Chain A
């Protein structure tokens, strides 16, 4: 059974870079069948797609966030990562990693990781 687990600092200072990693178990991140993505949810608010990556390195970004976000993949570790620069309090959110259920960025997310709360504060 495929499982995803987010990890990274729970507290980041304003203007610094947020870095998160998603470790995939129970399946290979190098599979040509799936894409992998990040989604976030500010406290008490809705979901926002951030970025998606394919094992080949192809990347897709939400336009409003594109200038600050980098998604990358490390197939040898079965992990993919998210970096978001110049963070502000508005970036405080639960960050989820998830697998797209087929080989397109348009495929739905299934399954999801449990999520990790990142707070931006000095």
Chain B
């Protein structure tokens, strides 16, 4: 199974909004509303930001939102802040018993 496809990098200025895409296939992203997003700061463990396509765990800023259309899921960060600079990974179920991550996207806040 191939990794989900994410852009290698995105950037934005403070206060702006950015969107990170996560493209899979009809066998993973397209079949399940089970896409999650993780934020990883340098040399830190990943942190769950979005589950089940668009659900925000308790404590996660409402500046983070998720959506899905067909085989592509998206993470949008509004009102960019310097602290948002990190790597972001999507993850999807590929069947009832397996998972696949995206290749990761480096977000730079200009």
Contact = CB atoms under 8 A, between A and B. Distances in A.
Contacts, number: 67
Residue from the set B38, B89, B98, B100 with the largest chain A CB neighbour count within 10 Å: B98
A65 to B, nearest CB: 11
B46 to A, nearest CB: 6
Contact of B89 (A46, A107, A111, A115): A46
A113 to B, nearest CB: 7
Contacts of B30: none
A114 interface: yes
Interface residues of B, number: 26
Given A106-B32, A108-B36, A49 B99 contact: yes
A47 B40 CA distance: 10
A26 interface: no
Contact of B45 (A60, A96, A108): A96
Interface size class of A (residues with CB under 8 A): 20 to 34
Interface stretch (B11-19, B75-83, B101-109): B101-109
A49 B100 contact: yes
B97 A105 contact: yes
User: Nearest 10 pairs between A and B by C-beta?
Assistant: A108-B36, A112-B45, A110-B48, A46-B104, A49-B99, A47-B101, A106-B93, A108-B51, A46-B103, A60-B97
Interface of B: 1, 3, 32, 34, 36, 38, 44-48, 51-52, 57, 89, 91, 93, 96-104
Interface of A: 39, 45-49, 52, 60, 62-64, 96, 101, 105-115
